[in-house]
Structure 1
Amino acid sequence: MTEPTFRELADWIDGRLDDERAATVAAYVASGDADTRDAVAWLREFKQAAGLLPLQAPPPEVGEAARDAFRQLRTPRGVDPRWFTVRFDSRLAPAAGIRTTGTAPASFHLDLEGHGLTVSVDLTRVDETHLDVDGAIRGADADASRTSRPVAVVFLAAGEELATVPVDRRGHFATRVPVEVDELRVVAGGGVIRARLTVRDGS
């Protein structure tokens, strides 16, 4: 039985999965996996809490303040950036039963390490133009105080921001990004750690 991703658990709780996949996820949750049950409990608590809050657009100054904070966290000119090392790329692992055919796979997995953090990312192509991203951050910094732990993951293409995703208290993040994405940045209290991404066919 395939372990559901964090996004699938959220879709299952919200009733967005088809009947077959919903039954599979329900069976996995019922099997008693502690991490999965914790994730489901947190998602349900979050959904309940969110339902008590009115949905209001934030004031324009809030969005501008967030953009200013991100710009300030970018690596200053003349300073060497901090980079993750790619420890595992499923597309380069034929021993794990993955064939290299010259065509980009429908999904792949990356493990990134650096500066006390490990980032595990599942990327799944949903169509010709977009990828679903589901990831988790682990490490000493991820469990540290609120001021130093990772707070967001930023996806970029050619230096332009595509999406900024908050990291929850369990270290999870999920979003959908264009296939043009070529860089990931983890924003923490100590600054920014970067990783290059290669997604497009033949790139």
Structure 2
Amino acid sequence: MIAPTFQELLDYAEGRLPEADRSRIEASLTDADPTTRDTLAWIGAFLEQARVAPLHPLPDALEGRLRAVFTPVPRRAERPAPETETLGRRFGRILAELISEVTIAPAAAGLRSASFQRPVRHYTFGSERFDIIVNALSRPDRRFDLHGQVYARASDAFPSNASAQLLHDEREWAISVVDEHGEFRLTSVPSGRYTLVVATPDCEVQCVSFAIEP
């Protein structure tokens, strides 16, 4: 039997698979190889850590203190992009600055394989419209899965029809729908420098470029 992919194991652990696919994965796990079992255990540990330590928007006062503490990330000067007419709408473009970039230890205690002990890279971007948090989760194949959360500052409701686009050398590498909770995922991303763009029906937020590295 063909071993499940990382994405299939993730969907299985989160309960998002249709019944037929769930049964197929469960059958494959009865005689799964050690790598597959370790991967599923690692996913379970990470999801448990995410459950007990949810991400919340930063209070304005705390954000101001963090901006004063963290060294600004060097980047080339950019002029504010003008508003442009896109699909017949007024479309505002906003730059999101990198507020912090830190390494978070994974909830991987007790895993048998040392290959699943790599840390999680955590990025926080801030703009006048949205705050964006990205966790780069390293995979066994040395690529990364990006788990993102977008927080709207002006409203509790996140706008519908939003997307998250990952650019590499000004070309699209991956794109994902942002759900009604502001969450998105971009999977199997190789190491490199990227730009993240979050687009809603009335604006586009472009994060400054950031490096994803082992």
When normalised by structure 1's length, the TM-score is: 0.52
The corresponding residue for 1:182 is: 194
Higher strand proportion, which one? 2
The amino acid of 2:143's aligned partner reads: H
Q: Are 1:135 and 2:139 matched, yes or no? A: no
8 Å CA contact 2:191–2:211 kept in 1: the answer is no
Which one has the largest radius of gyration? 2
Give the SS at the match of 2:135: strand
Cα distance, 1:191 vs structure 2:
2.3
Q: Distance in 2 between matches of 1:140 and 1:152?
A: 17
8 Å CA contact 2:10–2:43 kept in 1: the answer is no
Q: Are 1:169 and 2:177 matched, yes or no? A: no
Identity %: 14
Indicate how the Cα distance of structure 1 residues 167 and 140 shifts in structure 2: closer, same or farther if over 3 A, else same: same
Q: Are 1:199 and 2:212 matched, yes or no? A: yes
Higher helix proportion, which one? 1
- Unmatched 5+ residue regions in structure 1? 1-6, 37-71, 74-79, 94-104
When normalised by structure 2's length, the TM-score is: 0.50
Aligned positions of 1:14-163 closer than 5 A: 14=17, 18=37, 20-21=41-42, 28=48, 72=86, 82-91=94-103, 106-126=119-139, 130-140=143-153, 143-144=156-157, 146=159, 151-163=162-174
Cα distance, 1:152 vs structure 2:
0.6
8 Å CA contact 2:167–2:195 kept in 1: the answer is yes
C-alpha RMSD of the superposition: 4.0
The amino acid of 2:196's aligned partner reads: L
- Unmatched 5+ residue regions in structure 2? 1-7, 26-35, 56-85, 105-117
